[in-house]
Amino acid sequence: MATILLADDDPLTMAGIKLLLSQSIHQVICEVNDGTAVLDALPSARPDLLLLDVNMPERSGLEVLRTLRERGDKRPVILLTGRISDRRVYEALQIGLNGLVIKASAPQHLLTCLEAVVQGRRWIDHEVLQRAMELSLTPEDGAAAGSLGSLSQRERAVAGLVLRGMRNREIASELGIGEGTVKVHLHKIFEKMGVSSRTELALAAARDGAED
């Protein structure tokens, strides 16, 4: 069970998120409605995880995340947002974001994201990452090394599932291939993209979208 600090300046959204979380084993131990209050509450509340609205008064969820990481606080942070630009996604991933959920899809995805983050994985809304990938989905002649456009069709499929937070066994089942084949594809993807981990792959995908 994880203890959660929940921050959102909209009472209706706060109530809806609390209702969703009541269906999990995790517990909301602190509720605040602005970014400064988040930082003020941390020493006494000592939550395991922070669930923050991106757009709040005083300090945004992104600003709170940045402050925490600058302080060396590595507690997981999940951001909630109505919409977010590819560039801000890239910035959040660089800082050390653990999860991102679009509010409209929270009823379907929030608990999935929460469970993934509690287990030490990163979970970013699929459509947010898909936007970044689609910018380079169709490779052109001479596609640059280090871009998603340099990947083969199968490698892009594997990369897309990795960015959804799926593990090798789940990817193999989804694509109807062996787990060993997934590992081979991942090795090639990492080599082409110039990365060495799933986290670096997510950063590279977001960068492609931000720089297009």
Intervals of CATH 1.10.10.10 along the chain: 130-211
pTM, rounded to two decimals: 0.69
Q: How do beta strands 99-102 and 123-124 pair?
A: parallel
- Quick one: average pLDDT of 60-66? 92
pLDDT band at 57 (very low <50, low <70, confident <90, very high): confident
pLDDT band at 145 (very low <50, low <70, confident <90, very high): very low
Q: Is the pLDDT of residue 164 over 90?
A: no
- Quick one: average pLDDT of 146-174? 81
Q: Is the pLDDT of residue 30 over 90?
A: yes
pLDDT band at 148 (very low <50, low <70, confident <90, very high): low
Contact 62, 91 (CB under 8 A): yes
Q: Could you tell me the fold of the domain covering 3-124?
A: Rossmann fold (3.40.50)
Helix, coil or strand: residue 136: coil
Strand partners, 4: 28, 49
Model pLDDT, residue 143:
44
Q: How far apart are CA 133 and CA 149, in angstroms?
A: 9
Q: Could you tell me the fold of the domain covering 130-211?
A: Arc Repressor Mutant, subunit A (1.10.10)
